[in-house]
Amino acid sequence: MRKYESLQRPLRVYSFGVGGDSSFEAEMLNRSSSAEVWGFDDSVDGWGLDLAAGFPNRTHFFKAAVAGYDFFDESDKTEFLSIRSIMAKLGHDYVDIVKMDIEGDEFPTIESFFKDFERGEKYEGKEVPVGQLVIEIHVPDKGPRITQFAEWWERLERSGMRPAMSEANYLAVTVGDGKPCCVEYTWINTKDSRSALWTQKERF
């Protein structure tokens, strides 16, 4: 975080799945004067109490959802956008931090985005334009199977992502049905030449 705090250029943060808790976003904005946050969530109308009245010039909220591909759900009038489409709409070619808590949809969403950088795909050989991923991984009741999860994980690793931190979320155990369901993971992009976390000489 220290390197983000001293960053001279704008620090871009995407937050997918805001809910009622904006403490992560508030912490980033408080500690880095160059941070700017874009939030997406179709289930709420705005930021949580942590950001209710703060940083109006550095926060942008959209009542929309992220997904593996673009579509519009007529049943509840919700727009779903891929990460690639969101970046294009906002005119961004790079995002420093992507924070995601989307109740199991992280699997198809991330898979679709990273697949473009595989061999034979559209962006083969190019760097994934994300410096860091902060994702709450949800274990669905019916899948994915361990082989599918391994493929998902290995796709991230092939793109240069490496897990740097993990923390089990025991909320479901203590106040829910007693079954652990979630783990929070942070990945760092080790192939990222634009990362604020290291210089060219410090890259892996």
Q: Selecting from 2.60.40.10, 3.40.50.720, 3.40.640.10, 3.40.50.150, what CATH number does the domain 11-189 have?
A: 3.40.50.150
Give the CA radius of gyration of the chain: 17
Domain boundaries, the chain: 11-189
Q: Which of 78, 44, 45 is nearest to 64 (CA)?
A: 78
**pTM for this one?**
0.91
Mean pLDDT of 179-195: 89
- 59-62 and 182-189 beta bridge pairing: unpaired
Q: How far is CA 163 from CA 52, 154, 166, 188, in A?
A: 32, 11, 8, 6
Query: What is the number of alpha carbons within 13 Å of residue 201 lying toward its C-beta?
Result: 0
pLDDT digits (tens, 9 = 90+) for 14-59: 999 998 889 999 999 999 999 999 999 999 999 988 887 779 899 9
